[in-house]
Amino acid sequence: MQLAVELMERGSHQVEMSDEGLMTEDVEACVRVVLKALQKCDLPAAEIAAWCTTMLANDAVGFIAREPLESLRQRFPTDPAR
């Protein structure tokens, strides 16, 4: 999960520097692997939600895997009243 955060930070910066948004699909493909694993793992919901929030915050361009990250974050609410 930590490597995915580094990938998001560095990869989104690279996408930001590219006029054509090169590497967007490559970064998203890597993130999707981690997202798929997190949907099946037994980590605490708060940890998964926090990771999604961190990933979204480290996306310099604001659109890399945004929808699946937000969807996963909503799937694992941390508020017990939900």
Q: What is the pLDDT of residue 82?
A: 46
Is 48 a residue whose pLDDT tops 90?
A: yes
63 pLDDT band, cuts 50/70/90, is very high
Q: In the chain, where does DSSP find H-type helix?
A: 2-17, 24-40, 45-57, 66-75
pTM: 0.88
Q: What is the pLDDT of residue 21?
A: 76
Average pLDDT in the chain: 91
Q: What is the pLDDT of residue 78?
A: 65
pLDDT tens for 18-35 read 877 788 999 999 999 999
